[in-house]
Amino acid sequence: MAAVAAWLPFARAAAIGWVPVAQGPMPPPPLRDEDHKSDEKLIISVSGRKFVTWRNTLEKFPDTLLGSDEKEYFYDEDSKQYFFDRDPDLFRHILAYYRTGRLHYPKNECIMAYDEELAFFGIMPDIMGDCCYEDYRDRKRENNERLFDDKDSDAENAMPHSTPREKLWRAFENPQSSTVALVVYYVTGFFIAVSVLANVFETIPCGVEPGTNLSPACGDRFSVAFFCLDTACVLIFTVEYLARLYAAPQRLKHLRAVMSVIDIVAILPYYIGLFMPDNKDLSGAFVTLRVFRVFRIFKFSRHSMGLRILGYTLKSCASELGFLLFSMTMAVIIFATVMYYAEKNQPKTGFVSIPAAFWYTIVTMTTLGYGDIVPSTIIGKIVGGVCSLSGVLVIALPVPVIVSNFSRIYHQNQRADKRKAQKKARLARIRMAKNASGAAFISSKKRAEERQRLQETEIGGAECGSIRGSGAGDDSGSSADRREDVFELQHHHLLTCLERTTEREFVELDQLTQLPVCSSQQQPQPASPAAGSDASIAGADAELSPGGPAGCFKGRWRRGSREARTYLPGRGRAEEGEELNRRPNSRYQAGPHSSSATLGQQQLSQSRPTRTIQTRTTISSCTNRPGPRAPERIAGCDWALLSTWFLLLMITSIVCCTH
């Protein structure tokens, strides 16, 4: 509304026309001459860059920061301007909104930064002009998807206490979540491969049967063996299907899912065959049903990302595919009709009917050209030529759309995987930096306390400087210290209060020996790291607590060569693991207060400065998240698949050869 504030005099003046028809007197005007300020220019300084505008311009939108009284909080009396400590480049766009009434989105800016600026200045992004709104929404959606993906996988992994059903479901959906899941994944993959190969090989002629001249198919010669194999596979698939059905959070929805339908179709023919009576009439139908066993190969789509992407692409390009189909059908009908009428009177022609001409048209349009039907008249040949040319065109048109869709989705997927892989490394580096700063903070706190203690024990305060000089090496002068570390001193004091409250003590780097031994001494220890951690180091410590009991088993199992890599969760690179092992005390721990007598064992271990193999293992055990997720595992799945296939081929060929 305020965008047209300049027209207010006009509108008010036009209201004079109401006076003659008014049935009552008008209210008196609101403003008096005395308390009115005429327009003035305001100076807004954003990080030093000055923007000057009229007050009225800003007050056009009174529900934003600049248009309301809120900007008075930022008024600097000394320089008589409004100072904002924000990005001046983005502020330009904000101010343009006030000036023109339209909000634009600068395409070269990061969308999160822009959003934050809008939120700060109280401007709703929805009022963006049509010129920029679509672009803004697209970028926002893309960004949200990206963050949602990452958050999703985080949320999944951060659920320590879930029911067995949930665990099972997670195991099925994400094979990397636990070793059991991985095993299940590979086993099902193996059996799918076995089943498909068995289907294929049972139709190969298997050598001459003694006593006759026939060479029956392998399936008939070794029908028992193949039946047993089939039974085993179907059993596995049935168990898997029922397990999935049980674990699914929404069973009905799961029943309707594509993969579930494929599972059913894969195992149903077997059961139908079991219960079918040995009737010759029905066995024909039964044989047809066996064709459906080939659908088992679609079960591989759970194992292969590429296959899933292909399926998704086809689904998303449904309209293009539909267009392709439609235009092909149209062209086929047209050309087939013309060819039929051109060729029908030829002797011994293949064009006996229009549907028969369909076959010729399709073969020609797709440039196959089998040659089983050929035109012999001149008109027929001309039409055939035109048909093949147009076939190339019609097919070539929608294909690039499908290809580009596939490429986009595939790359998106690859980027997501790459991001996930990079994220672990990035997070670990960030964690390291945080630990280092946290540790440095604690050391400086210790030093300050030392100084305090020395000061207190000193009778005369004059020798402070000399004593302090012998202490930690970073003090330059007593008074300088005191002046600049007021903030830090108060921060230290805060942490000290926390220590007193929880009867714990922050320990320094070199005193770090080992985490609480997980098995029996599950004391308040796991709780204290979380409670005693500084806000800045909370991120590192939050991982400790959930790792507690469950991690022990893994720790013991993972001893030996893996310990270097599994020291910090999610370390995929051995070299980074090495680097970490060199400074394993970059972890900041909260140990028990040294004066507490109940945890005698901890005291003992605390005094030990060196770390042993046990130490490292237990550290790794408690800090280990279930299942390291190295990026090579993603490629490793496909590798495993390939090797499984190869193995199967070898086995089956050996089996065949021995017979």
Partner 1 sequence: RSPESGPSGAAGWGAAVADSRAAPWHHRPVSLASLAQRTRFSRQELQLMYRGFKNDCPSGLVHRAAFREIFSQFFPLGDASAYADLVFDSFDPGGRGCLTFEIVIQGLSVICKGSSEEKLDWAFRLYDTDRDGFISKREMVQLVSAIYDMLGDSVWPRVHPCDAQLHAEKIFDAMDRDGDGAVTFQEFVLACRRDRDLDTELDCFDTLL
Residues that bind partner 1 (CB under 8 A): 1, 3-23, 25-29, 31, 33, 36, 38-39, 54, 56, 99-101
Q: What is the distance between the alpha carbons of residues 552 and 200, in angstroms, rounded to a whole number?
A: 47
**Distance of alpha carbon 316 from alpha carbon 548, whole angstroms:** 45
**What is the chain's Cα-based Rg?**
38
Q: With respect to partner 1, which residue has the nearer C-beta, 102 or 344? A: 102
Task: Give the residue with the Cβ less far from partner 1, 31 or 462.
Answer: 31
The conformational region for residue 625 under phi > 0 = left, psi -120 to 50 = alpha, else beta, is beta
Give min distance, CB of 323 to partner 1, in A.
Answer: 38
Instruction: Specify whether the CB–CB gap between 191 and 184 falls below 8 A.
Output: no
Q: Cβ 2 to partner 1, closest distance in Å?
A: 9
Q: Which residues have a Cβ under 8 Å from the Cβ of 162 and sit 6 or more positions away?
A: 170
Tell me whether residue 53 or residue 390 sits nearer to partner 1 (CB atom).
53
Q: What is the dihedral of CA 411, 414, 416, 419, to 10 degrees?
A: -120
Question: What is the Cα–Cα distance from 625 to 178, expressed in whole angstroms?
Answer: 10
588/445 Cα distance (integer angstroms): 14
- Asked if 628 contacts 569 with a C-beta cutoff of 8 angstroms, the reply is yes
H-helix or E-strand containing 43?
A: strand 41-46
Token pair recorded at residue 318: 């449904």
Q: Report in angstroms how near the CB of residue 244 gets to partner 1 at its nearest.
A: 56
Nearer Cβ to partner 1 (33/78): 33
- What is the nearest approach in angstroms of partner 1 to the Cβ of residue 95? 14
Nearer Cβ to partner 1, position 1 or 462?
A: 1
Q: Which is nearer to partner 1, 94 or 342 (CB)?
A: 94
Cα–Cα distance measured from residue 201 to residue 215, given in angstroms and rounded to the nearest whole number:
14
CB 100 to partner 1: min, Å: 8
Question: Closer to partner 1 at the Cβ: 54 or 83?
Answer: 54
Minimum distance, C-beta of residue 96 to partner 1, in the bound complex (Å)? 12
Hey, which residues does 42 pair with through a beta bridge? Answer: 53
d(CA 589, CA 526): 11
Say how far apart CA 252 and CA 595 lie, in whole Å: 59
The distance of closest approach from Cβ of residue 97 to partner 1 in the complex, given in angstroms and rounded to an integer, is: 13
Nearer to partner 1, 17 or 609 (CB): 17
CA 32, CA 310: separation in Å to the nearest integer? 73
| CB nearer partner 1, residue 6 or residue 604 | 6
Kindly tell me the sign of the dihedral angle through the C-alpha atoms of 309, 310, 312, 317: positive
Angle at 624 between CA 620 and CA 627, to 5 degrees: 130
Smallest distance from partner 1 to CB 1, Å:
5
Alpha carbon 426 to its chain's center: 15
Which residue, among 314, 298, 313, has the nearest Cα to 413 in the 3D structure? 313
- For the bound state, the minimum distance from the C-beta of residue 89 to partner 1, rounded and expressed in Å, comes to 24
CB of 8 to partner 1, least distance (A): 6
Give Cα 457 distance to the centre of its chain.
Answer: 58
DSSP 218-282: HHHHTHHHHHHHHHHHHHHHHHHHHHHHHH-SSHHHHHHSHHHHHHHHHHHHHHHHHHS---HHH
For residue 213, the SS3 value is coil
Task: Give the nearer residue to partner 1 in terms of CB position, either 30 or 277.
Answer: 30
With respect to partner 1, which residue has the nearer C-beta, 29 or 473? Answer: 29
In this complex, which beta carbon is closest to partner 1, that of residue 21 or of residue 378? 21
Least distance from C-beta 134 to partner 1, angstroms? 24
The distance of closest approach from Cβ of residue 102 to partner 1 in the complex, given in angstroms and rounded to an integer, is 11
